[in-house]
Structure 1
């Protein structure tokens, strides 16, 4: 496996630094709003990339009313250019769905909210995982620690499982990425997740980020699609899709690189004014022509797709 050390400059880059670098590279093109119907006027955002289930491609999406955080995950299929809920599929009371495949089985996850055990009128959250041969056969697999979003799993070349974590608080501050390996899905536990070492030096303490989707690259490295985020002086949030590479054997990782901004996408609604500049990475589909299609939630109100230069080709060279 190649080293990623030559891609690291050993300096923590802020959102502002990364945006400056991004301006000088080839830009995304062909933004497109993804049209959803059949969900009674609710918003669909923070989607997955399309994935095959049975004989057709499916998108899992977060569905909720504009003034609510109580969402459901539906599975949509393309019917005449519109994505509609597929009949017979389960509906999960989750936020921000994601998927992977491990040992031939579909593993689907999302964020479950619940009344906070200590703070009145507040919500807590945790990541929940399901697995099964198909969507219709999904059964609960395990849950992550309370208070942790952006947990992701990936099958490594040797059949073991990589876990990307994102603790917050005393460990992790506003949100940092950790990584640990376990022999199998059965070894994924709250204790293992909580003990995962952080990838030190990715974020300054005022900013945060997380992994959204992990790609096992042809050379065994992990290509990570994620997000980096910050507040401005008015407490508006700014979320940027980013990528980096990780060597799962050594823990070495490359610098973060932004691959798109909100201004690259089409104009649209926002859930709240402070979320207008939010792009939440959903997934990437790599194409054979050196490009990739990025699927993303936009401003917590809609979903779009845009074509970017394949951000993982550099790591495979």
Structure 2
């Protein structure tokens, strides 16, 4: 399928396009997490199967802190409770995929900034194993890079989506490259990934959150698109686009939800009210999809939308 990419669009333009479509958004749910004291659970993954059981990984954090852990939860009686005996990782913003038959789990590690006093630096770290219990570390991404994602392509190679910041990526732009195997991953390969052009103006930013291999071999990218308003409030929107790993072509970014489509809820800070951080998408046979998301850096919600990747599979 040929993918059409127009010129760069601002967050304002994308929002107007989304609102004009009157897109499906139904059955909003706030997920209930228990067993973690008075801490918040947000920026969750979609549910995935591990040893015959559906599991959600979530960021667990006190309301007044950025120091978080990744816990694994299973559903019992309508609540998501910590899975007994599961490991806990001192990381933020979990994500998962399956590559060559193994579970690959990642998250963001924070550590003291090497040159700035009382400041933090971050990087994306990866674990793999046959199950959650067997996860062991295998790759650490470049310093100052969040939203580094991997996916097994249809030809068995590894698709690598990057998000440099600073001199190359500004506030954060998406790059893409491939590796022949997980063993070929390196800091240099990640840093050298070409940026996808005309996705973000310099004042705005975004990244990939979860990658789906579509039935025609395209990569469906679930991500986030973000901006500041004049008062410094943050706006994060769930978005998608599709990329052809064989040609490098990719489609326009489209927003797939806004904060007001979800239920009202708590917020970590006043400037984070409008933050919806894409966690995962579960595509369903009826043409809809369940979007799992972190809300306002304080809660985890689910929303049913039209499957945004179906149209890329229809030709």
Give the TM-score normalised by structure 1.
0.98
Q: Deviations over 1:139-166 (max 9, x none)?
A: 0011000000000000001100000000
Q: Deviations over 1:152-193 (max 9, x none)?
A: 000001100000000000001100000000100111111100
What is the correspondence of 1:144-183 to structure 2 with a 5 Å cutoff? 144-183=141-180
1:17 and 2:17 matched: no
What SS does the aligned partner of 2:286 have?
Answer: coil
What SS does the aligned partner of 1:24 have?
Answer: helix
Q: Deviations over 1:197-253 (max 9, x none)?
A: 000110000000000000000000000000000000000000000000000011110
Distance in 2 (CA, whole Å) between partners of 1:258 and 1:128 is 28
What is the correspondence of 1:75-224 to structure 2 with a 5 Å cutoff? 75-224=72-221
Distance in 2 (CA, whole Å) between partners of 1:22 and 1:35 is 29
Look up the match of 1:36.
Answer: 33
1:277 and 2:248 matched: no
Q: Deviations over 1:269-299 (max 9, x none)?
A: 1000000000000000000000000000000
> Deviation at 1:27?
2.9
**Conserved in 2, the CA contact under 8 Å of 1:243 and 1:256?**
yes
Distance in 1 (CA, whole Å) between partners of 2:230 and 2:311 is 35
**Conserved in 2, the CA contact under 8 Å of 1:27 and 1:260?**
no
Give the TM-score normalised by structure 2.
0.99
Aligned length: 313
Q: Deviations over 1:100-120 (max 9, x none)?
A: 000000000000000001110
Structure 2, unmatched stretches of 5+, are none
**Conserved in 2, the CA contact under 8 Å of 1:15 and 1:229?**
yes
Distance in 2 (CA, whole Å) between partners of 1:196 and 1:43 is 35
What is the correspondence of 1:305-316 to structure 2 with a 5 Å cutoff? 305-316=302-313
Look up the match of 1:253.
Answer: 250
Distance in 2 (CA, whole Å) between partners of 1:21 and 1:41 is 39
Distance in 2 (CA, whole Å) between partners of 1:161 and 1:234 is 41
Q: Deviations over 1:24-49 (max 9, x none)?
A: 22231110000000001100000000
Look up the match of 1:267.
Answer: 264
Look up the match of 1:3.
Answer: 2
Structure 1, unmatched stretches of 5+, are none
